[in-house]
A and B are shown apart, each in its own frame.
Chain A
Amino acid sequence: MMAARWPIHRPADAKLLVVDRQGKIQHWLRSKFIDLLRPGDLVIANDAATLPASLAGQHRQSGRPIEVRLAGRQSLSANDFGRFSAVVFGEGDFRLRTEDRPLPPILAVGDALELGPLHAKVENVLHHPRLVSLSFDGSPDEILEGLSRHGRPIQYSHVPTPLALWDVWTSIAAPPVAFEPPSAGFVLDWQALASMRAQAVQFATITHAAGISSTGDPELDALLPFDEPYKIPESTALAIRRTRDRHRRIVAIGTTVVRALEHSAGVDGTVRAGENVATQRLSAASTLRIVDAILTGTHEPGSSHYELLRAFTDALTLFRASQELDTHGYHTHEFGDSVFIERDEEREGRSNNEADEQAGGAPVLASQQA
């Protein structure tokens, strides 16, 4: 697939590949995605706003230039705003592919990083010369100000022009806790929310601190996604409970929503309101207890996002979908086209008889094994 190069959230010709419960594939215009929804469905999106998490500066001990990409936090609390895990690059910026970025100078515990108005100290080096935990000097308000003034959105070389924050914020962006945009949410605008309401489709949000999506380093990428804190509002937990009681579908906008909801349900199948940290990795072996369908980007095989899709459908169906994405000229990455995948009927995470009946029709032979 080709990368989408321009930061446009809702191109008029954006495509949507639809995989239904029987593994049947269709091509849609993404602007029509609301027609895939049914009355009573609950659509859940991640309302995290994206921090300008790329900080240019220098390593004081060596005097050499670095780029710090904030990559994770242990909580969402406003008072605990000063400790981050981070991936550190040497000289250069987003115009150089991450794979080609030089290593930073050797970082040791206690080293000082000067990042514009911000000062951070290396608290720990985490099993890799690029991966550190940092603590920033100053009050939470001072750190927020320094970040918001000095930071740039994390960016990759496939988008040639520098991104502004408005390029990476979804329409529903609320608490600034994501390190990269929860980009599946670009599909949503206020018209979409109004259209859903008109069709009796419910809408709710969670907040999930989406971490870094790629480091350019296979060893580090293999560790993705890092642990990500999330918060589920009371109103969302309630809406999920009611939707399940009525045997309607829960549709996740983006992988972060799946990760948060399934983590929350991991204990006893119930999504609880409150804050927690998602630590699990979803894959073919995972049972989805909550989410019935996902609308997300066109993820490429090998990525952790693609692995997560294997929890929805089997390997052969995903392989066929990937072929279709290629042959139909879909674009990939955060400003690219999308896929909508229903959890296949072989993967019933829960009793869902009514939804089965609604889907109608005899199941197509769905016994493909890769």
Chain B
Amino acid sequence: MTNELPEDPLAGMKIAITGGTSGLGLALVRELISRGAEVAFVARGRERVERIAHGNKGTHGIVGDVSIKEDIHPIAIQIVGALGGLDVLVNNASDLGPVPLELLGDTPCEDLERAFATNVLGPFRLTKALLGALASSAREGHGGVVVNVSSDAALTPYPRWGAYGTSKAALHHLSQIWDAELGGDGIRFVSFDPGDMDTPLHALAVPDADTSELKRPEMAARELADVIAGVLSGRRRDGCAQDEALKESPYDGSQVAHSSSRGREVAGR
């Protein structure tokens, strides 16, 4: 460890992003490449995956659906195989629930199940399949960070956002419990709320929104990348992640939590 500030802590990091062909995910793919990371991204549609992989040289596009149990290990193999390891996982792929939004009493069970499959079970399964790679990265002092993309709907019970809100609340809690359990293994979990963005998902939820009022996904992507960089540079200051000192590290999630106008990281601890 030197005293000099290193280059962007994202440079050379091996990062995987789900839902990487639109909205925040796509903006994040581009942001991370521009900052020197090695990126693999996952999405369902082959045509879009191939187009975006082609248009962003050096990225690895992976076709898969995180809501499907049988897709998880093939996705994990391709992520770790292509990148040769994994330092950071961003669980970004999200399902809104019923479109248009409905009161919970009117929400078809299948829509709730799909929202949970994509927003909770998918991130749970994929993270679980990748814990070994993330722990290995942490032991080497590189990374070991999982970002779960959350929402203010995870904390505030907005009417008509029931499927999305309950599933994001579960994901938020998942992040916190995992962060508490795996800190000793050097893996950090971050629950990140990007705010209301001008994305396809938001357009489905609020078709008549004034998009000029919404945050650009590129801005949220930059904030999210900064949060990851903050966790990574905290990791480097602390040295080996297995070191007990990590627990009392000067970096604490709450210190990078942003004001409500910016991306909000809700720290696990």
Among B76, B83, B84, B132, point to the contact of A171 (Cβ < 8 A): B132
Contacts of B60-96 to chain A: CB distance below 8 A: 60-63, 70, 73-78, 80-86
Q: Which residue of A lies closest to B60 (CB)?
A: A141
Verify A176–B132 contact, CB threshold 8 A. Answer: no
Interface residues on chain A, number (Cβ under 8 Å)? 37
Interchain pairs with CB closer than 8 A, number: 97
Verify A78–B84 contact, CB threshold 8 A. Answer: yes
Extra pairs beyond A193-B185, A235-B140 (7, CB < 8 Å): A47-B132, A140-B81, A145-B62, A148-B78, A165-B74, A176-B80, A233-B139
Verify B77–A144 contact, CB threshold 8 A. Answer: yes
Verify A81–B139 contact, CB threshold 8 A. Answer: no
- Complex CA gap A175/B84 in Å reads 7
- Complex CA gap A173/B74 in Å reads 13
Given contacts A78-B84, A148-B74, A175-B85, contact A235 B185 (CB under 8 A): no
Verify B77–A51 contact, CB threshold 8 A. Answer: yes
- Complex CA gap A78/B82 in Å reads 6
What is the CB-to-nearest-CB distance from A105 to chain B, in angstroms, rounded to a whole number? 29
Chain A residues with Cβ below 8 Å from B131 are 171-172, 190
Verify B133–A174 contact, CB threshold 8 A. Answer: yes
- Complex CA gap A322/B74 in Å reads 39
Verify A173–B132 contact, CB threshold 8 A. Answer: yes
- Complex CA gap A129/B42 in Å reads 40
What 0/1 readout, one digit per residue, does chain B (93-134) give for beta carbons within 8 Å of chain A? 000000000000000000000000000000000000101110
B214 contacts chain A at the CB level, 8 A cutoff: no
Verify A165–B73 contact, CB threshold 8 A. Answer: yes
| A contact residues vs B (CB 8 Å cutoff) | 47, 49, 51-52, 77-78, 81, 140-141, 144-145, 147-149, 164-166, 169-176, 190, 193-194, 197, 202-205, 233-236
Chain A residues with Cβ below 8 Å from B141 are 235
Chain A residues with Cβ below 8 Å from B139 are 204-205, 233, 235-236
B240 contacts chain A at the CB level, 8 A cutoff: yes
Q: Which residue of B lies closest to A176 (CB)?
A: B77
Pick the most buried of B70, B82, B85, B131: most chain A CB atoms within 10 A of its CB: B82
B36 contacts chain A at the CB level, 8 A cutoff: no
Interface SS of B by simple majority: helix
What 0/1 readout, one digit per residue, does chain B (175-201) give for beta carbons within 8 Å of chain A? 000000110110000000000000000
Given contacts A144-B78, A148-B73, A149-B74, contact A172 B62 (CB under 8 A): no
- Complex CA gap A204/B186 in Å reads 13
Pick the most buried of A141, A164, A203: most chain B CB atoms within 10 A of its CB: A141
B135 contacts chain A at the CB level, 8 A cutoff: yes
Chain B residues with Cβ below 8 Å from A175 are 80-81, 84-85, 133
Pick the most buried of B62, B136, B181, B185: most chain A CB atoms within 10 A of its CB: B136
Verify A49–B240 contact, CB threshold 8 A. Answer: no
- Complex CA gap A202/B139 in Å reads 11
Verify A169–B73 contact, CB threshold 8 A. Answer: yes
A-B contacts, 5 listed (Cβ < 8 Å): A81-B81, A140-B81, A148-B74, A173-B133, A174-B86
- Complex CA gap A156/B76 in Å reads 24
Given contacts A148-B74, A233-B139, contact A170 B132 (CB under 8 A): yes
- Complex CA gap A202/B135 in Å reads 14
